[in-house]
Amino acid sequence: MKTTENKARAAEAVPKGLSPTADVTAALAGLMNDINSKLQQKNERLTMFERKTMTYGRPALSAAADAEAPHQKAFNAYLRSGDDDALRGLELEGKALASNVAADGGYLVDPQTAESIKSVLYAASSLRSVANLVNVEATSYDVLVDHTDLGAGWATETGATAETGTPQFDRITIPLHELSAMPKASQRLLDDAAFDVEGWLAGRIADKFARSEAAAFVNGDGIDKPTGFLTHPVVAESSWGWNNIGYIATGVDGDFSGVNPADAIVDLVYALGAEYRANATFVMNSKTAGAVRKMKDADGRFLWSDGLAAGEPARLMGYAVLIAEDMPDIGSGTTAIAFGDFNAGYTIAERPDLRVLRDPFSAKPHVLFYATKRVGGDVSDFAAIKVLKFALS
């Protein structure tokens, strides 16, 4: 009975006029041809859509370019022609390109371009490599510092225990300020297929940001910019107190001592607390480094030693040396050399995103790229940094 039913169902499944045994192969072949035809039509539509999407992007110059990530293609199209349709259509993990930023007049830079900018900043803005760097999402960053000691005392077995001192906390608020750059390029240059617009934009912005940050972290006045560590009051180490930077004098106005010039550097090193010296770094500019590296100890050995391995920093008395060109030159009353644990002593707070706004109207026939980043910095531990002052006392 079941066999008869199965044969009836098989006959109904085959189109009319075809035998369920002899013509079933032809029926299946017709169905496959129909499916293949529809798939080909869909593939042609997808190909046309891809060509339309990439109209404003540069053609792939190599096999690596063909594998370019979708968010890079979309960001490249936005830089070249302002085409933000692809940006709106992207839904990327981590919001690397977020369409909701359009209301603010810009887009977040894709991760590849942002990483290029960050690498140049680390190379050019030397204080970043030794300071405490934190990423924040708020408008400011608070540092709580316990700079007093907890009281303690000896007690007898049966005697009364007196109340000891309580530690006190200082709250240091580091506001974030907006750092901006606005390079421009002609539209004809952007239309050039062989022009790497992302590389160019990253290089221009990184150079501007690096120079601006380097100056602010050393000498910034805190008004719409970070507060530099040399902006705080500088007092003699013998009278040092919190909210001040302690200094050691060379004993000669505007120069090292002519008898034992290296003594001032030795005094500077040991003016810093032992808990900070293990991670301490010298900071000076190239002119000062040129004068210091000529110094010798009593046995005729140079105090300065260059790194033996590639990428290893030079060392002065065994401590690393960073060349920051925004440090002042040796002169009357200047603080040309700093020494300290900057990871504990100076904090840089920044938002991790970089925003770019394309403006093709304000400077025609050029296109302006307005890039902004929010960053702040200030001293977080005044005991962790000491400076050498070129003065009598």
* pLDDT for res 387: 96
State yes or no: pLDDT of 219 exceeds 90. yes
What would the pLDDT profile of 239-295 be if each residue is shown by its tens digit? Answer: 998 899 999 999 999 999 888 888 999 999 999 999 999 999 999 999 999 999 888
Task: List b or e across 83-112, with b for residues whose CB sees 16 or more CB atoms inside 10 angstroms.
Answer: bbebbeebebeeebbbeebeeeebbbbbee
Residue 149: both structure tokens together: 């000691």
State yes or no: pLDDT of 153 exceeds 70. no
| Residue 145 vs residue 108, higher pLDDT | 145
State yes or no: pLDDT of 234 exceeds 50. yes
Band of residue 117 on the pLDDT scale cut at 50, 70, 90: confident
> Whole-number mean pLDDT of the chain?
77
Distances (CA, A) of 315 to 58, 219, 256, 282, 306: 47, 24, 19, 8, 6
* pLDDT for res 107: 60
Residue 202: both structure tokens together: 């990253």
Residue 377: both structure tokens together: 């910095």
* pLDDT for res 248: 95
Query: Do residues 229 and 245 make contact, with C-beta atoms less than 8 angstroms apart?
Result: yes
What would the pLDDT profile of 32-77 be if each residue is shown by its tens digit? Answer: 777 667 667 766 666 665 554 444 444 333 344 444 566 666 667 7
Query: Do residues 20 and 29 make contact, with C-beta atoms less than 8 angstroms apart?
Result: no
* pLDDT for res 53: 45
State mean pLDDT over 305-322: 80
What CA–CA distance (Å, rounded) separates 91 from 285?
46
Q: Compute the Cα dihedral for 81, 86, 88, 90 and give only its sign.
A: negative
* pLDDT for res 155: 65
Band of residue 363 on the pLDDT scale cut at 50, 70, 90: confident
What CA–CA distance (Å, rounded) separates 324 from 346?
15
Residue 111: both structure tokens together: 């991760």
Residue 85: both structure tokens together: 């349709």
What CA–CA distance (Å, rounded) separates 376 from 372?
13
pTM equals: 0.70
Exposed, middle or buried, 226 (CB in 10 Å: 0-12/13-18/19+)?
Answer: buried
* 234-236 and 245-249 beta bridge pairing: parallel
Closest CA to 370 of 102, 106, 167: 106
Distances (CA, A) of 364 to 54, 155, 187, 242, 359: 24, 81, 9, 53, 9
* pLDDT for res 100: 41
Question: Can you name the residues that pair with 368 across neighbouring β-strands?
Answer: 184, 359
